[in-house]
Structure formats: C-alpha cells, structure tokens
Amino acid sequence: MTDNVLSIRELSCDFLAVEGIVYAVNGVNLDLRRAEIHGLVGESGCGKSVSARAVLGLLDRKRCRVGGSVDFDGNNLLLLSEREMRALRGRRISMIFQDPQNSLSPLETAGMQIEEAIANHLPAAKGERRRLAASLLERVGLPPDTAARYPFELSGGMQQRVMIAQAISCNPELLVADEPTTALDVTIQAQVLRLLETLRDELSLSVLLITHNFAVVAEVCDRVSVMYAGFIVETAEAAELIRFPAHPYSRALVNCIPKGRAAGGAGPLPVIPGFPPRLYEPPWGCPFSPRCPKRGSACAERPGSRDLGGGHVVFCHYPEYAPNGDRSFREAP
Ligand SMILES: Nc1ncnc2c1ncn2[C@@H]1O[C@H](COP(=O)(O)OP(=O)(O)OP(=O)(O)O)[C@@H](O)[C@H]1O
Ligand code: SF4
Ligand SMILES: [Mg+2]
C-alpha cells in the first residue's frame, strides 16, 4: 500500500515540430504523496508545463508522442480516453494556471463561474449551488460580496482565489498548479501560497506546484524536484535540498534565492552562466555538463540516480555530498 496519490514513471514527451523532434521531457520519475505540496522547479523551457499537461491529458497526441506511465489510484492516466480523462479532471483532479484573467470569463460574475464549476460535478439545485459557492468563497478568504462582482472588478490575487475556489469545488485529491502566483506581487503571492498550505492541511489536498522560483519552494513546498532540459536532476525534502543541494544546477538555483523577503533592492542576484541545451537532440552525456563547474571525465556518460538517504536522490557523477548514508558530516559549519 503506497501513500502516493500520483506516480509518474519514465514520462517522456517528444514534439513533432517542423525543425525536427523536440525532446521536451525525458524519463521523468516523480511521486506525489498524499497531502503534500511538491514543487517542480527549473528554468524556463525545461519541461515543467509539458510534464503537467501530459499528466492532465492536455497534450495534443497528434503532435506529441507521450511515453511512460502516470499512475493515479491504480489507473494509468496515459491510457485513459479523452472522455474518461475529462471526467477525472472535473472531479478528482483540478488545475490552476498562471493567468486568471485568461481563464475567467469577463462576462460572468465570480459567483456564477464558481456555481458553474459546482454544476459540472454535482447535481445540486440553484439555491444549494449558491450556498456552496458562498462557502467556497469564504474558504479561499474572499468576502461574500465577491460573488456579485465581475473579474475586472477584482484584483489579480482575488481572481486567483476565485480560480482556486473553482478548482477545489469538486473536493479534488490532486491539484496541479502551474505558476499560480507568478503574475502576482510579492505580498499577494505569499497570501495565495498560504492558502494552498491551508487547503493541503484542511482537505488533505496533494499539490504539484510548478514554479521557476526557488523562493516559492522555500516558502511552501514539502518536497521538491528540480528539472533541467527535460530531466529531473534532484529530488528531496524542500528544506533539505535548500540546505544541502547536491546537484550543481540545484546549487546554482538555490544561490538565486533572494536573501530576505524585503531584499528587493539588495543587489543583483547571481545568474547561471550559459544556456540550456537545445532540445532537438537529446544530449549523450549529462545535460548540464556545458554549464557545470564540477564537470569531470565521467560526465560524458549520462548520470544515473544516486540515493543520498532520506528520500534525497540526485542524478550527478560528482554530487556535492557522498552517497554513503552518513548525513552527520553535513552538520559541520
Ligand atoms: N507544442 C509544442 N511544440 C513544440 N515544442 C513545444 C511545444 N510545447 C512546448 N514545447 C517545447 O517544450 C519545451 C518545454 O516547454 P515547457 O512549456 O514545458 O517549459 P516550462 O518549463 O513550463 O517553461 P516556463 O517556465 O517558461 O513556463 C520548450 O522547449 C518548448 O519550446
Ligand atoms: S554529472 Fe558532471 S556535468 Fe553533470 S552535473 Fe554532475 S558534475 Fe556536473
Ligand atoms: Mg511553463
């Protein structure tokens, strides 16, 4: 018996583009546990959204070859029909995206849109739907009069909360949130992240939280997987990975976390020199090697996984910490 809500195994997504095949996702493995917020983090273009869309069955299978398996409650989601997937997405799996403005209808009030989401999965009468919508608004921390307001009358943070109210209206087990706070300013972003934490605790919701921002990971994630050029390069508990990043790429990302929330003007953040590889041909060796300060002779071969203990796994020939099970040495100053 596993307590994983979602088990992704060897997920690969190859786009058939005019220029050739784009190897966007390469053998991704990821377990999402019950009631955890799992961060999927990495630079732009590394395959976070494509992975999420593959899980949700939202990729155009005519243009994208998808391989591997995605186990959700004993079902391989990759084998379900569009109809079966749509039914799951409405009831047990929900999603929210970066830009609420493009997801909400400008012509309907927030209350009407939440009621529609309820109607999609619950045969409730109008009065009952209205009552449920009001309680969802309360749950996401919005005042009752929000129900009568149109999206243009709401701030970005309020709109994102309306999206979250819609997403949790079916009491889902899994929420996929793709950059849900990127468009928001820092204070509102923190409030929305707190809300996700509350929902994880109160509804035992499992959240796959996609972000390119390690500060977001530090703020709310229980565990995190770092992605680079379509590969997962490291997975660990978030606090562990931020303190002891073993992969040179994770280390570089962690160094980009602003020191202190109010440190907006505290000087430029370090940048990672170089660019991610083109995804048209999968690299023979380690995908990070052209940018890696620790590159050595072994890196011409693609690295396999190394278990550092405590659920900390890294794909690197020369990880920062020896995989000898002895974690006490890390406590040295
Ligand atoms: N329909 C498509 N056809 C061809 N290539 C695509 C398609 N969709 C995505 N890609 C490519 O797949 C790669 C991964 O894209 P993806 O959207 O997953 O990146 P991401 O990690 O979500 O980046 P961001 O942080 O900018 O959202 C990119 O190189 C992108 O160009
Ligand atoms: S395998 Fe080699 S090139 Fe890749 S991250 Fe590790 S040290 Fe760097
Ligand atoms: Mg994306």
Mapped to the 3 state alphabet, what secondary structure does 253-295 carry? HHHCCCCCCCHHHCCCCCCCCCCCCCCCCCCCCCCCHHHCCCC
Give, for ligand 2, the residue of 250, 301, 318 to mutate: max count of ligand atoms closer than 8 Å to Cβ.
318
Indicate whether 329 pLDDT > 90: no
Query: Between 240 and 263, where is the model more confident?
Result: 240
Residue nearest ligand 1's atom 6 by CA? 15
Six-digit token pair at 38?
Answer: 């799992």
pLDDT at 331: 46
Indicate whether 184 pLDDT > 50: yes
| pLDDT tens digit sequence for 95-115 | 998 877 778 999 999 999 999
Residue ranges of the alpha helices (H) in 168-246? 186-203, 214-220, 238-243
Residues with CB under 5 A from ligand 3 (ion): 49
Q: Which ligand is nearest to the CA of 247?
A: 2
Mean pLDDT of 250-261: 79
Terminal-residue alpha carbon distance, the chain: 40
pLDDT at 263: 40
Beta-bridge partners for 288: none
| pLDDT tens digit sequence for 189-205 | 888 899 999 999 999 99
Query: Which sign, positive or negative, has the C-alpha torsion 302, 277, 217, 165?
Result: negative
Q: What is the CATH number of domain 4-92+172-280?
A: 3.40.50.300
- Ligand 1 atom with the smallest distance to the CA of 50 is 18
Residue nearest ligand 1's atom 29 by CA? 45
| pLDDT tens digit sequence for 197-231 | 999 999 999 999 999 888 899 999 999 999 999 99
pLDDT at 75: 93
Indicate whether 121 pLDDT > 50: yes
- The domain ranges of the chain are 4-92+172-280, 104-171
Of the given ranges (12-16, 62-66, 276-280), which has the lowest mean pLDDT?
276-280
Q: Which ligand is nearest to the CA of 44?
A: 1
Query: Between 278 and 73, where is the model more confident?
Result: 73
Indicate whether 266 pLDDT > 60: no
Q: Is the CB of 318 under 6 A from ligand 2?
A: yes
Give, for ligand 2, the residue of 291, 294, 320 to mutate: max count of ligand atoms closer than 8 Å to Cβ.
294
pLDDT at 284: 83
Q: Is the CB of 49 under 6 A from ligand 1?
A: yes
